[in-house]
Amino acid sequence: MKAIRYFKYGSPDVLELRDVPRPVPGKNEILIRVYAAAVNPYDWHFMRGSPYLMRAMSGLFRPKVPSLGIDLAGEVAEVGEGVNQFGEGDRVFGVVSSGAFAEYALVPVDLCVTAIPDALGYKEAAVFPVAAITALQGLRAAGGSLSGQQVLINGASGGVGTFAVQLAKHLGAIVTSVCSNRNLELVRELGAATTIDYTREDFCAQEQRFDLIFDLVGNRSVMDFQRALAHDGRCVICGFSSLPMLIQHMALGPLTSIASSRKVRLMPTARPNTEDLAFLASLAAGGSLKPVIDRTYPLAQVADAIRYLEKGHARGKIVIIINR
């Protein structure tokens, strides 16, 4: 089969399209014929081995696992021993630890995989798992009901942000979305009641105060967030713009939260699981959650897809089309 491989850290130029053996499903695994895979920041962080702490997981000098891609959608090609919830030909989507950028991928059935709702094609289904689960778990991390709450989403037009706007609206929040001017209409269509163009306005300097800030950019200080929060407000930070800013969020967030009713915290790492993915699939089936796809690329152009993602201007998600 064809698959993307890399054997050293670096720019997208290190990625190679290679012929590799087709995997065989083991116990409690299914082999998926991949029709679409989504690109995530996770991919380029591992590709570059950056920030350097990533190498504690992926290998100090070279990647231990030479494959990339974690979001996928496709058709069950084979089932391993002990698998009875899926059969050959089933349409499924979910998360693999690595290797979605390939014609076939192995997925443990107890990790994060479920049936694709009829309302979604393969391309649309592929963008859900990591981004939508991150949005859902990030909003939950704040704690409490969002019904009637003033919720600001910074980075609202990106892969996680487009899902977060819709989920917050579905959960009853009054949503303010922060993005660039070219994306204002998009986030309004997704459910934002108010929009802020960050190139012209500073959301931290608004008179409006927010019950929840879900920050997907990580470029503002803890004190900025404190100023923008209402009494008893919460800020959940997912993502970072630089290592120094990440360190500040890790150190000052808990400290300032001790002495204030306004809480600033980093989001724990999202944990993909079938229960959350099935819930998101039900929302998609009912029309309450729609994917936003910016561009598609063939498998041979994964490097170009990652280059585009790294620029930081994608509207929604980027998808790799495979086997179609």
Q: What is the pLDDT of residues 5-18, one digit of tens each?
A: 999 999 999 999 99
pLDDT at 59 (0 to 100): 84
Unique residue bearing structure tokens 């979604």: 120
Map residue 32 onto helix, strand or coil. Answer: strand
Smallest CA-to-CA distance from 280 within 1, 47, 94 is with 94
Q: Which two tokens stand for residue 102?
A: 């390939």
pLDDT of residue 219: 87
C-alpha–C-alpha distance, residues 294 and 159, integer Å: 9
Question: pTM of the full predicted structure?
Answer: 0.94
For all residues of the chain together, what is the average pLDDT?
93
- Given a cut of 80, whether residue 94 has pLDDT beyond it is yes
Sign, CA torsion 189/130/319/32: negative
Distance between CA atoms of residues 309 and 106, nearest Å: 25
Radius of gyration of the chain (CA): 20
Please give the Cα distance from 177 to 164 (Å, whole number): 10
Give pLDDT tens digits for 251-303.
Answer: 777 877 777 888 998 888 889 999 999 999 999 999 999 999 999 999 999 99
Burial letters for 203-241: b for 16+ Cβ neighbours within 10 Å, e otherwise? bbeeeeebbbbbbbbbebebebbbebbbeebbbbbbbbe
- What is the pLDDT, as a whole number, of residue 300? 97
Q: How far, rounded to the nearest angstrom, does the alpha carbon of residue 290 sit from its chain's CA centroid?
A: 14
| 111, 30 Cβ separation under 8 angstroms | no
Partnered with residue 93 across adjacent β-strands are: 73, 114
Return phi, psi of residue 119, to 5°. -70, -15
The amino acid at residue 234 is: R
- Taken in order of first residue, the domains within the chain and their CATH numbers are 2-128+291-321 (3.90.180.10), 131-266 (3.40.50.720)
- The confidence score (pLDDT) of residue 159 equals 95
- pLDDT at position 208 is 92
Residue 143 has pLDDT above 90, yes or no: no
pLDDT bracket for residue 142 (50, 70, 90): confident
34 pLDDT more than 90:
yes
Query: What average pLDDT does this structure show over 114-125?
Result: 96
Confidence at residue 241, expressed as pLDDT on a 0 to 100 scale: 67
CB 107 within 8 A of CB 96: yes
- How far apart are the C-alpha atoms of 223 and 146, rounded to whole Å? 23
What is residue 20's predicted lDDT score, i.e. its pLDDT? 98
Percentage of residues in the chain having pLDDT higher than 90: 79
- Lowest mean pLDDT across 125-139, 170-184, 207-221, 246-260: 246-260
